[in-house]
Amino acid sequence: MTTPFSLDNDTAYQQWRSQKLSHYPIDFIGLFVDITDPHHLSDKEQAQIQYNIDRLNFCFYRVQNAFNNKATIHALGLQLGLKNLDHNLCADEDKLTSIEVCTHTNQHNYIPYSTRQLSWHSDGYYNDDNKQIRGILLHCNRPAKNGGISYIMDSEIAYILLRDHNPDCIRALEHPEAFTIPDNELNGEVIRAEISAAVFSLDEQQQLHMRYSARKRHIIWRDDPDTQEAVNMLNALWSEGSPYIVSHKLQAGEGVFCNNSLHRRSNFEDWEESAKKRLLYRGRYFDRIRIEN
Ligand SMILES: [Fe+2]
């Protein structure tokens, strides 16, 4: 099978690359899909979503107030082919995660549940190989008073930038021990064993999958010059900014879904009143987005 992700096939890569980059700078028209009834996507809405997923691997949406709830996420997810939810440590009973400022009993005080910024990452990069997150749906129920802006970039763009810079960076990040995450201990008990993995890999459908975190702590990069060069290049990209990055502060009833694209969140100031405090719902899925007609 011909894949643009083979370093031995530059022709396939160049074709795919020019097609991909033809969508940049991003045309914001259609980037946001106004969904009338999230329980029944219209043909036009489906087409808009498909267009965004094909070109960007992510898509923003907006629903009316009446649909600003968890049922919307479950309904949308099913129509997007997002069916197998990961039940992560902090998930609610319905496997969606409520992202709000809180402390979880007997759990770490993870950054997502604080007002602090979240650096660039893909979700579940520390998961076992057979529990990789392929799709994410993030829905804003209530925005923060200030800040809490979402930033997103297609992982395939990261691949292109690195490969154009130096194909050896790709080779290094395809190494099965490109990074190591030490075990996760809680109250003296190991709740997740140490894991090593490749940043870039292909799934059974030859789709690119990226596992990444820009965190400096709790991630050990392979000690080799090409890996270091790749990591440095990505760090420079995050600090310098890029026209390939889309940023948006999700408002109540707005959301974004993606094929586990790279993303981050800025820090924020929350509301005083508990009923107004920032609340987002997130679903992490073992499926990529595939629109069900
Ligand atoms: Fe995330």
Domains and CATH numbers, the chain: 20-285 (3.60.130.10)
| 122 CA → ligand 1 middle, Å | 6
| 213 CA → ligand 1 middle, Å | 10
Question: What integer is the mean pLDDT of 262-283?
Answer: 94
| Residue reference for tokens 């130096």 | 166
This prediction has a pTM of 0.94
| 208 CA → ligand 1 middle, Å | 18
Give percent of the chain above pLDDT 90: 83
pLDDT tens digits, residue range 204-251? 999 999 999 999 888 999 999 999 999 999 999 999 999 999 999 999
Residues 6+ apart with CB under 8 A from 159: 5, 170, 200, 208, 210
Q: Which amino acid is at 235?
A: N
Question: What integer is the mean pLDDT of 284-290?
Answer: 96
pLDDT tens digits, residue range 6-41? 999 999 999 999 999 999 999 888 899 999 999 999
> What residues sit around ligand 1, an ion, with C-beta below 5 angstroms?
123
| 125 CA → ligand 1 middle, Å | 10
Question: What integer is the mean pLDDT of 183-201?
Answer: 90
Residues 6+ apart with CB under 8 A from 155: 57, 122, 208, 209, 210, 212, 259, 260, 261, 262
Instruction: Please give the Cα distance from 139 to 144 (Å, whole number).
Output: 13
Instruction: Please give the Cα distance from 260 to 121 (Å, whole number).
Output: 9
| 2 CA → ligand 1 middle, Å | 31
Supply the angle between the helices 10-21 and 155-165 in degrees, to the nearest 10.
130
| 123 CA → ligand 1 middle, Å | 5
Kind of pairing, strands 268-269 and 146-147?
A: antiparallel
| 9 CA → ligand 1 middle, Å | 32
DSSP 25-55: TT--TTTEEE-S-TTS--HHHHHHHHHHHHH
Looking at residue 16, what is its pLDDT? 98
| 171 CA → ligand 1 middle, Å | 25
Residues 6+ apart with CB under 8 A from 150: 138, 247, 248, 249, 250, 256, 263, 264, 265
CB atoms within 10 A of CB 250: 23
| Residue reference for tokens 């370093």 | 7
pLDDT tens digits, residue range 119-145? 999 999 999 999 999 999 999 999 999
| 265 CA → ligand 1 middle, Å | 8
Q: Which amino acid is at 144?
A: A
Does residue 283 contact residue 82 with C-beta atoms inside 8 Å?
yes
Instruction: Please give the Cα distance from 58 to 71 (Å, whole number).
Output: 21
| 138 CA → ligand 1 middle, Å | 9
| 119 CA → ligand 1 middle, Å | 9
Looking at residue 1, what is its pLDDT? 66
Q: Is the peptide bond before 25 cis (omega within 30 degrees of 0)?
A: yes
Give the H or E element holding residue 215: none
User: What is the CB-side half-sphere exposure of residue 131 using CA atoms within 13 A?
Assistant: 12
| 216 CA → ligand 1 middle, Å | 16
Kind of pairing, strands 58-62 and 254-258?
A: antiparallel
Q: Which amino acid is at 112?
A: P
Residue 111 has pLDDT above 80, yes or no: no
**The dihedral sign for the CA sequence 258, 262, 266, 270:** positive
Give percent of the chain above pLDDT 70: 97
| 8 CA → ligand 1 middle, Å | 32
User: What is the CB-side half-sphere exposure of residue 196 using CA atoms within 13 A?
Assistant: 9
Does residue 147 contact residue 268 with C-beta atoms inside 8 Å?
yes
| 264 CA → ligand 1 middle, Å | 7
| 248 CA → ligand 1 middle, Å | 15
| 124 CA → ligand 1 middle, Å | 8
Q: Is the peptide bond before 176 cis (omega within 30 degrees of 0)?
A: no
Residue 258 has which token pair? 């993606």
First vs last C-alpha separation in the chain: 27
